[in-house]
Amino acid sequence: MNRKEADKKYKWDFSNVFENSSDYKQNLEMFQKKFKKINELKGNLGNKEKFLEYLRMKNETDLLSIRLDHYLNLYNLDQTDTELQELMSLYKKANNEYKEALSFANPEILDLGYEKVISFIKGSDYAYQEYIFKKLFRMKDSFLPYQKQEVINQVSNSREILNGFFDCLSYADRQFLDVEINGKKELINTTFFNTFLASSDPIKDQQNRKLVWEKYYNNVTSKKYSFAKTLEGIITKEYEDARLKNYSSALEKALSEDNIPTAIYRKLLQIGKKNIGILKDYYSIIKDRFGFKDFFISDRHLSLADNFSKVVLVEEGKQMVKGALQMLGEEYNEKLDIAMKDNAIDFYEDSTKRSGAYSTLGNGVEPSILMNWSDTLSSVSTLAHELGHSVHTLFAEASQKYPLCSYPIILAEIASTFNEHVVFDYLYEKTTDKNEKVCLVQNRIYDMLTTFFREIQYADFELQAHELLEKNEPITAERLMNLFKSVELEYGYDLCTNNNERDAYYWPHIAHFFYYPFYVYKYSLDVAASFKIYQDVKKGGSQHITNFLKAGCHKDPLDILKDSGIDFMDEKTYEPILSEIKRLIKLLKELLD
């Protein structure tokens, strides 16, 4: 179903956030007045009363900023909406002014010293923020003097244009191409792409799959030089920021916010390469099953189930997820009902809608989910994933005050992938149909391989791309293509026919490289962590997940994970997820015999 045809309950309604653009602009003006008022405290944070007033005003202003930002998610429903483009531009400008207005604060607070700051908040309404200041003083060496930070804030608008440029290239300027398959013309949108690669005739349509693959990624390859230049700009910005803030590399800077050692990132890459045989075993099943002499990258998604097709409409999918998550108890399911209510999820695809799926943060605004429902079991898993984020948000906000409820991404993907584990086991146990079992197990293997191994592959490419600049080497479209291809060959793509000869411009499809540098590695770490927690839940009860969800960010992420028995430097942490993938591959082979 196309979004335009859907009932309104399957669409976002943000009228409870702001009634319309006029209301939005009025609140934007209020936001500007608030942060200008905060700026009047400049030079006075050494006074306890003024310091506490600063914290009160900052909390209020932050929460209003979050509401303003939340409303702009509507832009992702139609990236040609000029009115929302205007609001986004206004907000970005105002938010950068906010950063500039507050640029005095951290230097003043750091000059006070940790002990004095803690004495100010002790016994006050803000005593709970002790961890925030502990973190601030830990990162003291990365903060610039006020005058230098003010200059950077003043030019931040121009530095952020690159992200908008990527949006335009990827979405607003996107054009889906047609393809003729067996005499029928088809529009190659995301739904058709995924469906055709999975369910087309393995032998007769092999060349058609190659054609569909190439045309689908034409939106990337036709703009490869623009994407390369955009990524070069983002890498340059990250490199400049790292140097300015006394970090040895962009990687160290990116990981410092969560106090993650770079050794964990590199350990993850080692684990991936060491165990890549698991991924090759899966690809070999597909290749052998259909007797392919040539095995192309576009053949990897073929369904192994014989003539199995299951249409899962939105309402059925919702019930599947609710049924699966019942095992997590009443407290979890109360939050789940809030996350799934009408208008909280925008379900259907549209040509100018952002692809993929995500859940928004809360902080005074109930979380919302963007989906692109494809009537498949895969969409059920995606819905469960995003609901994991939304429920995490609701638990954290109910248990931790702002800003300690704002959990970092390194924890976020644990909540989401945890739900995928639950839903798979539920659906597999419910069905007696062998073909459906094959479909479920294959989808499960694919999801786990992509979340663990493919994200490691992307993390490897991203690190090497950033290191090009750090080594004073050029960043060009051809260089990035060859780099991406060389990394692919280390992660199982050497099984694909002529893979070394094809153009590999897929990397611009990974939006995280542009929006959130050094983000994708977190998926791999977190799916390993979430599977470990899932095993604990099955053995000892739902408190193992709910306690984690309530933690927010009241201490360092690695300390929160330690409470759940997780150490990413210990190879034993990765053994459960790797063993489970091996078990599922063995199960798939048995089901196919």
Summarised one tens digit per residue, pLDDT across range 350-400 is 988 998 899 998 888 999 999 999 998 889 999 999 999 999 999 999 999
Rounded CA-CA distance 408/412 in Å is 6
11, 14, 360 from 344: Cα distances, Å: 8, 9, 10
Q: What is the mean pLDDT of the chain?
A: 93
| Range with the largest mean pLDDT of 56-70, 181-195, 306-320 | 56-70
Residue 157 above 90 pLDDT? no
For residues 519-542, b (16+ Cβ closer than 10 Å) or e, as one string? bbbbbbbbbbbbbbbbebbeeeeb
The percent of residues in the chain predicted with pLDDT above 90, rounded, is 81
- For the segment 291-318, the average pLDDT, to the nearest whole number, is 92
Which CATH superfamily hosts domain 13-159? Oligopeptidase f, N-terminal domain (1.20.140.70)
| Cβ proximity of 186 and 179 under 8 Å | yes
Report the range of poorest mean pLDDT among 271-280, 294-303, 498-507, 570-579: 498-507
Tokens representing 413 are: 């993907």
Pick from 184-193, 231-240, 319-328 the range whose average pLDDT is largest: 319-328
Q: What is the pLDDT of residue 79?
A: 86
State yes or no: pLDDT of 545 exceeds 70: yes
User: What pLDDT, on the 0 to 100 scale, is given for residue 148?
Assistant: 64
- CA dist 389 to 64, 335, 414, 433, 554, Å? 21, 11, 9, 31, 18
Q: Band of the pLDDT at 149, cuts 50, 70, 90?
A: low
Q: Which pLDDT score, from 0 to 100, does residue 238 have?
A: 94
Q: What is the 3-state secondary structure (H, E, C) of 249-264?
A: CHHHHHHHCCCCCHHH
Q: Is the per-residue pLDDT at 69 higher than 80?
A: yes
SS3 readout for 116-166: HHHHHHCCCCCHHHHHHHHHHHHCHHHCCCHHHHHHHHHCHHHHCHHHHHH
> Per-residue pLDDT for 53 more than 80?
yes
User: Is residue 424 pLDDT above 70, yes or no?
Assistant: yes
For residue 203, which amino acid is it? I
Residue 153's pLDDT is 62
The residues spanned by each domain of the chain are 13-159, 170-306+410-593
- What pLDDT is attached to residue 232? 95
Show the tokens assigned to 26. 């009025």
Confidence (pLDDT) at 367: 96
What is the CATH architecture assignment of 170-306+410-593?
Answer: Orthogonal Bundle (1.10)
- Residue length of the chain: 593
pTM, two decimals, is 0.88
